[in-house]
Amino acid sequence: MQFRHFLSTQDYSRAELDELLVQAEAFKRQRLGHELRGKSIALLFFNNSMRTRTSFELGAQQLGGHAVVLSPGRDAWPIEFEVGSVMDGEAEEHIAEVARVLSRYVDLIGVRAFPRFQDWTVDREDRVLRGFARYATVPVINLETILHPCQELAHAMAMRERLGDLQGKKYVLTWTYHPRPLNTAVANSALLIATRMGMDVTLLCPTPDYVLDERFMLAAQNNARENGGALRISHDIEAAYRGAHVVYAKSWGALPYFGRWEQEKPVRDAHRHFIVDEAKMALTDGGLFSHCLPLRRNVKATDGVMDAPYCFAIDEAENRLHVQKAIMSSLVAQPAG
Ligand code: CP
């Protein structure tokens, strides 16, 4: 059976992404519909969530569908993902059965599975998401693994609402301090969608160790080339902020330190000044600010920035609801293979 998943925006053409955004705008104007009548989605959370869980559950319900939320290892059986594994450990069942059984019950499967933060060469294979996509016979949606494509669309939609056409607009993705190393997914995704929209993108991070995985850097470079944008790396805070139209903040762990986080800590601690504050925002060209949330106030961004009229993080979070309705609707509307 041939059908599409929603694992990465890179699997979709620019025209298809624009179509999803137009559909999301329609759902923002008219929240209730019948696009998912009689349909259901299983939402599997291997990690915590507030926005993703709430917006998917409500989005399905508002379109006449139903969502089932499962947390494998907590309220559902722990799952094995290795092919050929002798399952004498914690896992009670294999992804081959889980994905196939769920596919008999539901029309869509959503998966959130963060890296394990021990070995990036393993985490970058995205085995949990890929396992579901391999065995499921219904479309799978990435709810954040090593990319966060739903967040990408919500972010793009919110930027367009404020700026209109994004082509050529100056966009800064800035690393920020956080006491723990966090997932690179949103940072990877921010580069992909901003370059896809033809923006003039700067990745601002403390040292070259904080540059993102080469797979996503390369994809973003190609996006920039194909869409008339640009991508550069900077470690100079003032230069990066100057003239920016959008500043997007995220913290992430430096890939060379994966699994050796105690060695990264002094580097991380030395860069608390990457916090987004009013003085930095004053360098921009009347720039906007956002973050995917959750955000630690006065660690990643100051109260003054979060409460400023230029902060659109709440609009972006709201847009998760609308873009995900567009994604779910388009996936269930696929012709049977
Ligand atoms: N931005 C986002 O995905 O939020 P949650 O982690 O709360 O789902």
User: Are 261 and 277 in the same domain?
Assistant: yes
User: Are 189 and 222 in the same domain?
Assistant: yes
User: Are 162 and 284 in the same domain?
Assistant: yes
Instruction: Please name the residue whose Cα sits nearest to atom 7 of ligand 1.
Output: 50
- Residue 205 resides in a domain: yes
What the block records as the tokens of 135 is 């065995």
Give dist(CA 288, CA 160) in Å, integer. 12
Instruction: Please name the residue whose Cα sits nearest to atom 3 of ligand 1.
Output: 52
User: Are 158 and 289 in the same domain?
Assistant: yes
User: Are 144 and 169 in the same domain?
Assistant: no
User: Are 323 and 308 in the same domain?
Assistant: no
| Closest ligand 1 atom to Cα of 150 | 3
Residue 292 Cα to ligand 1 midpoint, Å, equals 7
| Closest ligand 1 atom to Cα of 293 | 1
The domain that holds 163 is classified in CATH as 3.40.50.1370
Residue to substitute in 141, 146, 293 for testing ligand 1 pocket (most ligand atoms within 8 angstroms of CB): 293
User: Are 135 and 223 in the same domain?
Assistant: no
What the block records as the tokens of 324 is 């995900």
User: Are 293 and 327 in the same domain?
Assistant: no
Please, which residues have CB within 8 angstroms of residue 220's CB and are 6 or more apart in sequence?
191, 192, 194, 195, 201, 231
Beta-bridge partner residues of 45 = 112
Give dist(CA 154, CA 317) in Å, integer. 7
User: Are 141 and 190 in the same domain?
Assistant: no
Render each residue's pLDDT in the chain as its tens digit; 337 residues.
689 999 999 999 999 999 999 999 999 999 999 999 999 999 999 999 999 999 999 999 999 999 999 999 999 999 999 999 999 999 999 999 999 999 999 999 999 999 999 999 999 999 999 999 999 999 999 999 999 999 999 999 999 999 999 999 999 999 999 999 999 999 999 999 999 999 999 999 999 999 999 999 999 999 999 999 999 999 999 999 999 999 999 999 999 999 999 999 999 999 999 999 999 999 999 999 999 999 999 999 999 999 999 999 999 999 999 999 999 999 999 986 5
Q: Domain residues for 323?
A: 9-148+319-332
User: Are 168 and 294 in the same domain?
Assistant: yes
User: Are 84 and 35 in the same domain?
Assistant: yes
User: Are 209 and 275 in the same domain?
Assistant: yes
Q: How many domains does the chain have?
A: 2
Residue 293 Cα to ligand 1 midpoint, Å, equals 6
Give dist(CA 203, CA 217) in Å, integer. 10
| Report field, pTM of the whole predicted structure over 0.85 | yes
